[in-house]
Structures are given as structure tokens and as C-alpha cells.
Amino acid sequence: MKIPASIRRVYEDQKAINDRLKTAIDERMRGIKEPRWHYESRVKELPSFALKLETGRVQNPAAMEDFFASTLVVTNTAEISTAEQLVSEQFTIRSKRPPRPDRTHKRSYAFEFDDLRLYACIGTNPAFPRTDLDEVVFEVQLKTFLQHAWSIATHDLLYKTADPNWSKERIAYQVKAMLEHAEISIQEAENLASCAALLKEDRETITLKEGIALVKGQWKPDELPSDVRRLAMNITELLDALRLDIARLEQILNERKHARAGAHPSNLSPYSTVVQYLCEAQRSRMLTLLSNEKSRRKVMIPQELELPAGVDKGKLKNAIIVE
């Protein structure tokens, strides 16, 4: 691409300082982002810089506001405001587009790009020494993972093509409309779940709720994993393999806890505690399950678990023994 020397000079005048700005901003942004978020950034390349100037939309070619641009990707739309607040606490926000969350330039039937963009600078901060980077404006795009995935997947269809194609563009924006609908459904899941058409439960869900209630009633919060649902699922699947119900397990847990002076074993996880109690209270069923190598439900047996006297671990073909 032929680029006039004057454009190259304007580009090179900004390139070095924006390279240094990228290093500084990347460090700060990675320090404030949540672990599950994604962050990426780039310094504009010369051909892209020249093409943008030719649009006539850059008021000051010597200070292009997105010469350096970054993207912070959050889990869902509910976290956009949190991300905006974190960025605002770190940097001075000069402007943003769209300027208001309740206003849009888009028609109701349009689905073009309209992600939140913040135009910021480092500004003066007593926590950091002043540098020549402080007043350089840069862009921060805030997106959800669905929005980010769409922009990556359709980028070549919409922007980097020498063959404009109405059909392909139509498909790209139809997908964006579907993803926007998905974002709304995720954000409003609590409200949508209470509507009459969806307010239902199946046997598996009811059993899982009972399992969660049971483990929360038997162990303190700090004795349970953060993923209580998975724990309850492991226990209810074990009960299903044994043809036992939650009520019977609760009875066993209460009896054994009472026999142990009101405390479950401190050296076993809740799941392993259940397995040990079932081996004691439902010995025949448990040994049958543990010996059935054709069973789909394997049972983990840690070394600390006390199996009934006389049980040969070598014959427990359905057990995963952890020594």
C-alpha cells in the first residue's frame, strides 16, 4: 500500500510513545481484571492508521484516540458496569461511546457494532510518578465473551474482505442478533425462570435440591466445597446406583454423627464420609456395587476411609483406590 511520507511521519511520531503506553497499560489492566476475564491490546499498524485517516473522521491525525487500543472481555452484560468502574478508578475517562447506557444510535432492527468504548488517559495519580504518557489518550473496549467471539468470528466477513457480500453480512448480523438475545436471556435468567412456561422441575432437579439441602444441613459452610452442586450430584448418583433415597441417607448420617459425639470424620471429605457410612450401614449393597466391574458408577476410596473388617480391596473392581 502506497502511503505518503507525511502520513508516515505522523504515524512514526506516535508509534514509539504508544508502544511504551501499551506496556504501561497492559500491566495495570492485567492487575485489575478479574481472573475469569480476558484482556488483549494492540498498537495500530501503519496501513490501518492511514486508512482511518482517509475516512475523514479523525480530527487530529497527530493524536489518534485509538492508536493504542485495548479490549477487556467480561463474563456477561451484568459485569460491564463493574469493568467500567474498575477502569475509571485506574484512569481518567475523557469520553465514552455510547455516552449513555440508555441511549443508542441504532435503529431497533439494526445490529451493527455498538460495544462500549472508553477513551481514557493515565492522568495524574499520586501513586505513580508523572511521565510523558500521562495525557496520551487510548481506547478501552468493554465486551462480553459472546460479543468478543462474534467480533472475532465475523471480522474477516465484515471488514477484511475485498469481496463485499450482502448475504454474508446478513448472516453475520443475524448471528449478532441471536447472541444479543442470548445475552439478554443470560442476564435476565432469574426473571425468565419464574415465568409460567418455564416454572417446572424434573425428578433429577428435585433430587439434586434435596441433596444440596442435605449436605448443607450436615456440614458447616467451611467444610463444604464451593461447588456444592457437584458434591450433591456425586452423592445422589451414588445413591441412585445403590437404589437408596435421600431420606435414608439422612437417617444414616444422623445416626452415625450421633454415634461419633455429634461430629463427622475430620479427615474425610463429605463425599468420602458418605461412602464410609454407607459401607457400614449398607454393607451388602455397597460391596455388591464396589465389586461390580461392569457398573458405570465408579467409587473413589481414599486411604483414610475405613472399610469394614475383612474386605479385600483387591476384589473391589469397581473402586478407584487412592493409597
Comparing CA positions, the residue from 64, 171, 59, 72 lying closest to residue 115 is 72
149 backbone dihedrals φ, ψ, rounded to 5°: -60, -40
Instruction: List, for residues 227-260, the tens digit of each pLDDT value.
Output: 999 999 999 999 999 999 999 999 999 999 999 8
CATH of the domain at 52: 3.30.460.10
Rounded distance between C-alpha atoms, residue 163 and residue 83, angstroms = 37
Rounded distance between C-alpha atoms, residue 220 and residue 263, angstroms = 11
Q: Is residue 53 part of a domain?
A: yes
Residue 172, Ramachandran bin (φ over 0: left; ψ between -120 and 50: alpha; else beta): alpha
Instruction: List, for residues 95-114, the tens digit of each pLDDT value.
Output: 999 888 777 777 777 777 67
Comparing CA positions, the residue from 17, 12, 2, 96 lying closest to residue 51 is 2
| Domain match, 61 and 173 both | yes
How many domains does one find in the chain? Answer: 2
| Domain match, 175 and 243 both | no
User: Which cell goes with 228?
Assistant: 456444592
Instruction: List, for residues 36-93, the tens digit of each pLDDT value.
Output: 999 999 999 999 999 999 999 999 999 999 999 999 999 999 999 999 999 999 999 9
DSSP 155-210: HHHHTS-SS--HHHHHHHHHHHHHHHHHHHHHHTHHHHHTSTTT----HHHHHHHH
**Bridge partners for 16 per DSSP:** none
| Domain match, 173 and 213 both | no
220 Cβ partners below 8 Å, 6+ apart?
none
Instruction: List, for residues 153-195, the tens digit of each pLDDT value.
Output: 887 777 766 677 888 888 888 988 998 899 889 888 888 888 8
Q: Is residue 21 part of a domain?
A: yes
Q: Is residue 192 part of a domain?
A: no
Q: Is residue 187 part of a domain?
A: no
| Domain match, 78 and 129 both | yes
Bridge pairing between strands 68-74 and 38-43 = antiparallel
Biggest alpha carbon–alpha carbon distance for the chain: 89
Instruction: List, for residues 59-69, the tens digit of each pLDDT value.
Output: 999 999 999 99
Cβ atoms 273, 221 nearer than 8 A:
no
Q: Is residue 131 part of a domain?
A: yes
Q: Is the dihedral of CA 48, 49, 51, 56 positive or negative?
A: positive
Q: Which domain holds residue 156?
A: 5-100+109-161+168-180
